Chains A and B, each alone.
Chain A
Amino acid sequence: MANNRWGYPDLGFGIGLRTVHYEHILEKRPKIDWFEILSENYMDTGGRPLYVLDQVAERYPVVLHGVSLSVGSTDPINFDYLAKLKALGKRINAHWISDHLCWTGVSGLNVHDLLPMPYTDESLRHTIERVRTIQDFMERPIALENPSTYLEFSASNWTEWDFIARLAEEADCGILLDVNNVYVSSFNHGFDPKDYIDKMPADRVVQHHLAGHTHKGTHILDTHSDYVVDSVWELYRYTYRKIGPVSTLLEWDASIPSFDVVHAEALKAKRYREGVDLEAQELEAVSSYGD
């Protein structure tokens, strides 16, 4: 069932396609709902990554997720990059294409990080315009992910959740709601993560991310290097109650364990959703008892 305005399907529970799992996937053809790929790893290669991707895309639904769109940068939009992204999306019949609400560099340089935006009126206007231009070029809506951030700018006069909701509305784009990132940023900046979830326009959320993080005491880093912590699972449960079924992806990018371990972690999300469904059925049964 699709809850979003574009009719993008709920693909179920997927994981990121990673090099260390290539052999397992090609040999065992594991039963898994879908894969997300890091777009840039497949855009400039004619070698093994693309060969593997073509085979994966023949058997599984695939979604493109990038880190180089730099949608908030004041540099000109890189249309060469977009052309390659568009071609890759067509090649593998990607269900949708996503990147982050961030900037990665300016003045022709690239820091290769998902850098935080100041949430100002100027930033909002700037980003809306760029998302519209990008979507026109791509001939499809894109989804933007809420990033994990480690600082806030004094200039910001919007909350991140209001900013991203308005951006999605005005630019008519989707949202990739990363539940772990909401949690990480809520700790780093001291807000209630449920406030964030409450403000998300459900009909624009096309995907969720879940991941492990690293707690440094004074702040949390979004490292994708471990199991999802219980607090994030609780937030995922809350998100499901608010937004409903959305394609869910488990990210694990450092100290990556076996395919089966990563997949099993992704499937925990299914159990959380089933738990919520069961609660709802029980409540309905109780409320209809007196009818």
Chain B
Amino acid sequence: MGTSHSTDPGLDRIQRWMQACIMTQGECEEAIQSRAAQTVIPAADAPGLVKPSATMQALERLDVYRQMYLLRLEEALATDYPTLKHYLGESEFFRLVARYVEAYPSRSYTLNRLGDHLPEFAGTLTDIPKPEFCRDLARLEYAVTLVFDEQETPKLTPEAIQSVPQDAWERARLKPIAALRLLEADYPVSEYMGAVDEENPFPQIRKRKTFVVAYRRNYLVHRLDLKRPAYELLSALAAGKQLGQALMDVCVPGRKPAVKESQLFEWFRDWMAEGLFQSVEI
């Protein structure tokens, strides 16, 4: 043990002060003079809390941690929202992140939860290009992250389908796999994501209703763009509606364009092939 020191404000105050300095954006001097930092340690006492090194002043050393903070959080959010970053560009995305983490600082031990509020936050901004498109794009990317991490559930087997009595299908419920999210958007966000990921042509970013299901198969996340009635049918099934009722709701007389039987067949064939359901419940 060494000698006791007179400049010891105590562990809790040191931690609250350092954290306030790290999370306050701007220059280091501004950070130590911020209300959050000065609530704990007066700015005049701050430089004395940290020892200078042979090459750096006390506050320069504190600034090392401050500079790494935003870079680290930007890296984490860029991992979850790569397409939004692509759309906004590096500097605009960084500016978004800086404002976002001020509004929604991390409260979890895992960085996986850091971006939970980014879609709604992006939608509230007025000084980024097409905030509503950014919101929808972020909603889709958020859905993809949830699908990526969902628990694995069994797939519906042909044997399970064959075991359902013919007359039971009307009241049957098709339970979707856990790793599935449905999204209705005001912009062609799935097409945009496809353009970035798969080098498809970029869509025009104009307001247009689009529908997509994000799901996981063989531990890889996929997206399937849907027509409105297919989206409605799949949403109804995912919500636990009986198959007969869900079909009646979608095939309502007078709907334009009418849903054809051949379309229904195609949708179910595709959904089964992609493994979107885990069981049939009677």
Which residues in window 165-189 of B have CB below 8 A to A?
178-179
Which residues in window 199-242 of A have CB below 8 A to B?
217-219, 221
Contact of A272 with B by CB under 8 A: no
Cα(A218)–Cα(B68), bound, Å: 16
Contact of A156 with B by CB under 8 A: yes
Cα(A68)–Cα(B7), bound, Å: 29
Cross-chain contact A109 with B64 (CB below 8 angstroms): no
Q: How far is the CB of A28 from chain B (nearest CB, A)?
A: 19
The stretch from B8-16, B134-142, B269-277 touching chain A is: B8-16
Contact of A170 with B by CB under 8 A: no
Cross-chain contact B5 with A46 (CB below 8 angstroms): no
Give the interface of A toward B (CB within 8 A): 40, 43-48, 51, 68, 70, 72-74, 78, 81, 103-113, 115, 117-118, 120-123, 126, 150-159, 162, 188-190, 217-219, 221
Cα(A105)–Cα(B214), bound, Å: 34
Contact of B4 with A by CB under 8 A: yes
Summed over the interface, the residue pairs from A and B with CB atoms below 8 Å come to a total of 149
Partner of B11, one of A40, A51, A118, A189: A118
Partner of B7, one of A78, A126, A155, A221: A155
Give the interface of B toward A (CB within 8 A): 1-5, 7-12, 14-16, 18-19, 22-23, 48-51, 53-56, 58, 60-62, 64-65, 68-69, 72-73, 76, 105-112, 148-152, 178-179, 216, 219-220
Cross-chain contact B19 with A105 (CB below 8 angstroms): yes
User: Which of chain A's residues has its CB closest to B73's CB?
Assistant: A112
Cα(A110)–Cα(B69), bound, Å: 11
Cross-chain contact A44 with B149 (CB below 8 angstroms): yes
Q: How far is the CB of B28 from chain A (nearest CB, A)?
A: 12
Cross-chain contact A115 with B49 (CB below 8 angstroms): no
Given the known A-B contacts A51-B152, A74-B15, A153-B14, are A112 and B5 also in contact in the complex, defined by CB atoms under 8 Å? Answer: no
Cross-chain contact A155 with B9 (CB below 8 angstroms): yes
Cross-chain contact A155 with B5 (CB below 8 angstroms): yes
Cross-chain contact B14 with A118 (CB below 8 angstroms): yes
Which residues in B have their C-beta under 8 angstroms from that of A78? 109
Q: A45-B149, A106-B19, A151-B61 are in contact. List 5 more A-B contacts (CB 8 A).
A: A107-B16, A110-B108, A122-B8, A151-B51, A152-B53
Cross-chain contact A155 with B14 (CB below 8 angstroms): yes
Q: How far is the CB of B152 from chain A (nearest CB, A)?
A: 5
Q: How far is the CB of A67 from chain B (nearest CB, A)?
A: 9
Cross-chain contact B48 with A154 (CB below 8 angstroms): yes
Cross-chain contact B219 with A51 (CB below 8 angstroms): yes
Cross-chain contact A219 with B11 (CB below 8 angstroms): no
Which residues in A have their C-beta under 8 angstroms from that of B56? 218-219
Which residues in B have their C-beta under 8 angstroms from that of A72? 11
Which residues in B have their C-beta under 8 angstroms from that of A150? 61, 64-65
Cα(A122)–Cα(B12), bound, Å: 10
Given the known A-B contacts A73-B15, A126-B11, are A109 and B65 also in contact in the complex, defined by CB atoms under 8 Å? Answer: no
Partner of B49, one of A46, A112, A154: A154
Cross-chain contact A113 with B68 (CB below 8 angstroms): yes
Which residues in B have their C-beta under 8 angstroms from that of A152? 50-51, 53
Cross-chain contact B16 with A106 (CB below 8 angstroms): yes
Q: How far is the CB of B177 from chain A (nearest CB, A)?
A: 11
Given the known A-B contacts A153-B50, A219-B64, are A46 and B152 also in contact in the complex, defined by CB atoms under 8 Å? Answer: yes
Partner of A107, one of B5, B19, B58, B150: B19
Q: How far is the CB of B22 from chain A (nearest CB, A)?
A: 6
Cross-chain contact A110 with B109 (CB below 8 angstroms): yes
Closest 3 pairs between A and B when the two form their complex, measured CB to CB? A46-B151, A155-B8, A151-B61
Cα(A128)–Cα(B282), bound, Å: 57
Cross-chain contact B5 with A157 (CB below 8 angstroms): yes
Which residues in B have their C-beta under 8 angstroms from that of A106? 12, 15-16, 19
Q: How far is the CB of B62 from chain A (nearest CB, A)?
A: 6
Cα(A40)–Cα(B152), bound, Å: 18
27 contacts between A and B (CB under 8 A): A40-B109, A40-B110, A40-B111, A45-B149, A47-B152, A51-B152, A51-B219, A74-B12, A74-B15, A111-B22, A115-B15, A115-B19, A120-B5, A122-B10, A122-B11, A150-B64, A150-B65, A151-B61, A151-B62, A152-B50, A152-B51, A153-B14, A153-B50, A154-B49, A155-B49, A156-B5, A190-B54
